[in-house]
């Protein structure tokens, strides 16, 4: 799965990288501890143009009567997305990219303590996760929400967790966003072994209130 992110690329650089028009309400960066239900950066197509904008991380199905009216849907499984009522329409019609500098996963030690790991591109380039989005509305309240696609982990990542986010290569961004016709389903697979690196970080990041660049500093495993 994917339940915590780090985003360090400046907003103007992010807009340039993704060739997207930036909104005025983008989340502040750097943020080394982006948590579910907070706002995340997303790239989506509107009117034939890429837009960099902010969405709530936590997809809300239309039948929820309130944002916490059911399970928190921060991830969507690639293997079943076409069948799930909550996700299947968004998977066809409302796909997005969710950029990050890296993400965290956890293992447990012999006493049950949670040890965090930071995962990033081997060349430290920004990652682009495959995502889906939709607007949720109830009465006068409207929220634009998203979830990150996940797939089975590749061999190296499976030593930490059996799932991982679907990470898209730059040449595949247009296909996922629907700019290059059909075939996006073929992209929902694990990144190549050599694409990612990971290392242990301090347990300080276990708190969703923690902040600061030290959260991604390596510690002895």
CATH architecture of 5-216: Alpha-Beta Complex (3.90)
How many CB atoms are located within 10 Å of the residue 97 CB? 23
Summarised one tens digit per residue, pLDDT across range 180-203 is 888 898 999 999 988 999 999 999
Q: Is 105 a catalytic residue?
A: yes
Give the helix ranges, DSSP H, for 131-185. Answer: 173-177
- In 3D space, the residue among 98, 106, 102 whose CA is nearest the CA of residue 120 turns out to be 102
Q: Is 2 a catalytic residue?
A: yes
* Residues listed for the chain: 221
**DSSP state string for 150-176:** EEE--TTGGGT-SEEE-B--GGGHHHH
Candidate list 96, 105, 146, 151, residue with the active-site label? 105
Q: How confident is the model at residue 220 (pLDDT cuts 50, 70, 90)?
A: confident
Candidate list 2, 96, 146, 151, residue with the active-site label? 2
Q: What's the pTM? A: 0.96
Task: Yes or no: say if 178 and 133 are a contact pair by the CB < 8 Å rule.
Answer: no
How many CB atoms are located within 10 Å of the residue 21 CB? 14
């Amino acid at each position: 799965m994917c339940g915590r992110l780090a985003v360090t690329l400046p907003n103007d650089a992010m807009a340039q990288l993704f060739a997207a028009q930036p909104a005025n309400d983008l989340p502040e960066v750097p943020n080394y501890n982006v948590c579910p239900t907070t706002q995340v950066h997303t790239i989506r197509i509107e009117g034939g143009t890429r837009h960099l904008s902010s969405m709530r991380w936590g997809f809300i199905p239309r039948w929820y009567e309130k944002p916490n009216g059911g399970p928190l849907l921060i991830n969507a499984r690639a293997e079943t997305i076409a069948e799930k009522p909550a996700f299947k329409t968004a998977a066809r019609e409302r796909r997005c990219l969710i950029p990050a500098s890296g993400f965290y996963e956890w293992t447990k030690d012999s006493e049950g303590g949670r040890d965090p790991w930071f995962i990033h591109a081997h060349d430290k380039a920004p990652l682009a996760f495959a995502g889906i989005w939709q607007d949720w509305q109830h009465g006068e309240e409207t929220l634009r929400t998203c979830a990150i696609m996940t797939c089975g982990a590749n061999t190296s990542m499976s030593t930490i967790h059996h799932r991982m986010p679907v990470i898209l290569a730059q040449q595949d961004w247009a296909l996922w966003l629907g700019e290059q016709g059909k075939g996006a389903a073929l992209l929902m697979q694990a990144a190549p072994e050599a694409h990612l690196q990971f290392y242990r970080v301090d347990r300080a990041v276990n708190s969703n209130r923690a902040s600061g660049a030290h959260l991604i500093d390596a510690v002895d495993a």
